[in-house]
Each structure stands twice: as structure tokens, then as C-alpha cells.
């Protein structure tokens, strides 16, 4: 069967023709769109005429609004319940991307292609449906009900090193799976790291991702991502970049989880101009949380090495797994999600908002 990546290569917009749903799982009879006004079943073909009402009416109750929010400034995510088919009644997250500029179209095609390629990879989101209307493209993925790491960090300001170690270990496995099939994420940050109902990480938002032949050391030269998490070779994009940019971003994420601040910002600053931040990333030295252990500091320093060929991970993921920061960790248990003796902090902070699935249905009387 042709993958969506092959379909995209063959036909550009293949798999997203107006009003046609292309998921492999089952025929879609409709979507129960959940909003504060109640719920209404919308068929795939009705999405074109219903889209304006969706934007006007879908104002989630606070419990859901905190989980499903605007994504990347150009897409909106809704909570929906599947109507019909063998997954009838299943809750999903539906991302709506308006058709418009070629740049938007390119990003949504890339996200669809990546999600189709990495079905059921560890610690990444799964796509179940993709379809299009005259005005928008829709990607239907797992409903990940634990919020994201940016929300968790906002709630707690910083996390205990023991907790950070586990989240980072899961991210290492997520990135390893992507890199093994030639996918570079290029926009890893807390907002794109969701948390499932058990508190495990789920990497999402692949609009900036890139397929590269990493075994042949292929590089890309695009300037994209979020500046705060960009590696020096992304800012100086004439040099080319590969999967090492994801390891740099992981270093930034680790630092922010441990201390609440970017390694290239200082606590007294509320804002930092793009030129200043770029200059610090290119030429400055990172600042680490004072309470971080020597092992954590060394781990972050190794990930934030400016030369990508000397950066931790440049000689393979095994050198990351062997770092003292992960001493005593069972990688087999991390892969199996059976990390004994560890309670994920997200479960008590974010998931306490949700009592049961019916709280998310919000159907009208």
C-alpha cells in the first residue's frame, strides 16, 4: 500500500482531496464536535459549510480548553468523538489547518506524511485520519489528555531532577525512533511535548520536520523552528544541519525543566530580542540551574556543544544512554513504560482536572 509520503510525492495533495477521508482504519460516518454550546454530529462532507460555526462555537469548557489549544499560530485543535465505524465513540483530537499560503500547505503535508510514516512509534502521537475540504485540512490524532510540558512547567516553575531524568529518557527514545527512519523533528520544545493519561511524554507537531538520508549524512539548510531552541547551525544555516539539532533542543528542554529558564536567558530578563538571543546561542555560554547536579550539568553542556560533530549524540544514541545522568536507569523499562517506583508528576497535577470521560463529552440536555 502506498504511504501518504509516496502519495504526496506522486500527486502533491494526494490524500487530502476536498471532502474525502483517507484514513486506513474505517469509513468515517461523522464527527461529534464537542463545544460549550453542546454537541453536533458533522459529516466529513459537511465540514466546508460548518467550518465557520466550528470556529465561532467551539469554545471549550475550561477543563478542555487547558488541554486543547491553538497550535503553532496557524492551526486549531478540537476535541471530537467518532461517530460510526469500529471506533465509534472514540475521543480524538482534530487539528484544523486553513488552506491558504503554500507555506501552510507544505507544513501540513509534512506533518501528515510524518505521522503516517511513524504510526505506533514509541512516545510519539498517532494519526488515525486525514481529510480535506475546500477551505481546510484536518488531521485526527490521539486525544492526549494530560496537557503538555509547558503547562506542567507553568504549574510547578521547575521539576525535580529525578522527574526530569525520566521525561528526558523518554524523549531520547522518541527522538531515536524518529532518527532511525530519517526524520528530524526540528521544533522540539515543551509545548510540543504532550503528556498522556499516565504522564508519559508524547512528541507532537511535526510541521517543521524533515526527511533526511542520515546514513548518507544528508543535511538540510532551512531556517525553521523556534529561536529559543535553535542550534547554532540552524541560525547560521549556511553550514547545513542534521539530527544533531534535536539533541541541542533536548539540552534546552532539559535546562528549562530543571530551572524554568532557557540556558541563554538570565532570570532578570522578561524579554530578549531576537538579535541578542541569536548572538548568545552562537557565541555565549549556557547558564544552568544552580541546584542541578554535576551529572545534569555535564549532560546539558554536552548537548549544548556548539560544534554539532562534537555534540553528545553525534556518535550515536548509545553515548547519550551511557551518560552518568542516566546512571541506574533501565532503558528496557523506559521502552516498556514499566518504570517501577516512579510516579509521574503530571498525573496528579493535570489529570486531576478530569474525573471521567463523560466530563469531556459536554453534550447538551
Which of 82, 189, 210, 256 is flagged as catalytic?
189
- Compute how many other C-beta atoms are within 10 angstroms of the C-beta atom of residue 82: 22
Which of 142, 187, 242, 246 is flagged as catalytic?
187
> Which residue has cell 538520508?
213
Which three-class secondary structure state does DSSP give residue 327? coil
Active site annotation includes 187: yes
Which of 113, 142, 192, 242 is flagged as catalytic?
192
Rounded Cα–Cα distance for residues 105 and 176 (Å) = 27
Measuring CA to CA, which residue among 75, 12, 16, 48 is closest to residue 134? Answer: 48
Active site annotation includes 359: no
Active site annotation includes 192: yes
Full DSSP string of 31-94: EEEEETTEEEEE-TTTHHHHHHHHHHH----HHHHTTS--BTTTBEEEEEEEESSTTTT-EEEE
Helices (DSSP H) in the chain: which residue ranges? 4-11, 47-57, 62-65, 102-117, 149-156, 161-180, 232-235, 244-259, 274-283, 294-303, 318-321, 331-336, 345-349
- Compute how many other C-beta atoms are within 10 angstroms of the C-beta atom of residue 316: 10
**Residues contacting 62, CB < 8 A, separation 6+:** none
Instruction: Find out whether 180 and 321 touch, Cβ atoms under 8 Å.
Output: no
Q: Which three cell numbers stand for residue 351?
A: 489529570
- Compute how many other C-beta atoms are within 10 angstroms of the C-beta atom of residue 276: 14
Q: Is the dihedral of CA 33, 115, 44, 13 positive or negative?
A: positive
Instruction: Find out whether 255 and 325 touch, Cβ atoms under 8 Å.
Output: no
**Residues annotated catalytic, as ranges:** 187, 189, 192
Amino acid at each position: 500500500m502506498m504511504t501518504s509520503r509516496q502519495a504526496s510525492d506522486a500527486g502533491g495533495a494526494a490524500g487530502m482531496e476536498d471532502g474525502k477521508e483517507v484514513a486506513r482504519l474505517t469509513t468515517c460516518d461523522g464527527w461529534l464536535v464537542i463545544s460549550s454550546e453542546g454537541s453536533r454530529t458533522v459529516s466529513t462532507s459537511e465540514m466546508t459549510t460548518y467550518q465557520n460555526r466550528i470556529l465561532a462555537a467551539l469554545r471549550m469548557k475550561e477543563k478542555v480548553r487547558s488541554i486543547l489549544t491553538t497550535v503553532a499560530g496557524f492551526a486549531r485543535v478540537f476535541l471530537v468523538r467518532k461517530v460510526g465505524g469500529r471506533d465509534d465513540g472514540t475521543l480524538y483530537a482534530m487539528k484544523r489547518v486553513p488552506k491558504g499560503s503554500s507555506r501552510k500547505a507544505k507544513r501540513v503535508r509534512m506533518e501528515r506524511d510524518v505521522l503516517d510514516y511513524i504510526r505506533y512509534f514509541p512516545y510519539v502521537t498517532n494519526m488515525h485520519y486525514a481529510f480535506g475540504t475546500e477551505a481546510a485540512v484536518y488531521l485526527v490524532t490521539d486525544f492526549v489528555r494530560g496537557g503538555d510540558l509547558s503547562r506542567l512547567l507553568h504549574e510547578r516553575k521547575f521539576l525535580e531532577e529525578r522527574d526530569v531524568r525520566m521525561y528526558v529518557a523518554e524523549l531520547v527514545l522518541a527522538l531515536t525512533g524518529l532518527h532511525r527512519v530519517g526524520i528530524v523533528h526540528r521544533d522540539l520544545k515543551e509545548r510540543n511535548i504532550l503528556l498522556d493519561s499516565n504522564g508519559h511524554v508524547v512528541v507532537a507537531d511535526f510541521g517543521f520536520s524533515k526527511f533526511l538520508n542520515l546514513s548518507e549524512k544528508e543535511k538540510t539548510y532551512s531556517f525553521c523552528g523556534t529561536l529559543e531552541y535553535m542550534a547554532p547551525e540552524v541560525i547560521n544555516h549556511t553550514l547545513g544541519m542534521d539530527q544533531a539539532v534535536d539533541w541541542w533542543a533536548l539540552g534546552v528542554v532539559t535546562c528549562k525543566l530543571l530551572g524554568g529558564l532557557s540556558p541563554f536567558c538570565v532570570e532578570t530578563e522578561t524579554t530578549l530580542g531576537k538579535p541578542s538571543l541569536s548572538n548568545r546561542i552562537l557565541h555565549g555560554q549556557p547558564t544552568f540551574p544552580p541546584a542541578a547536579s554535576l551529572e545534569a550539568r555535564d549532560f546539558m553542556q554536552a548537548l549544548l556543544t556548539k560544534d554539532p560533530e562534537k555534540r553528545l549524540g553525534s556518535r550515536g544514541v548509545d553515548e547519550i544512554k551511557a551518560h552518568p545522568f542516566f546512571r541506574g536507569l533501565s532503558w528496557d523499562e523506559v521502552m516498556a513504560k514499566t518504570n517501577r517506583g516512579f510516579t509521574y508528576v503530571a498525573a496528579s497535577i493535570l489529570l486531576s482536572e478530569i474525573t471521567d470521560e463523560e466530563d469531556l463529552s459536554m453534550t447538551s440536555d
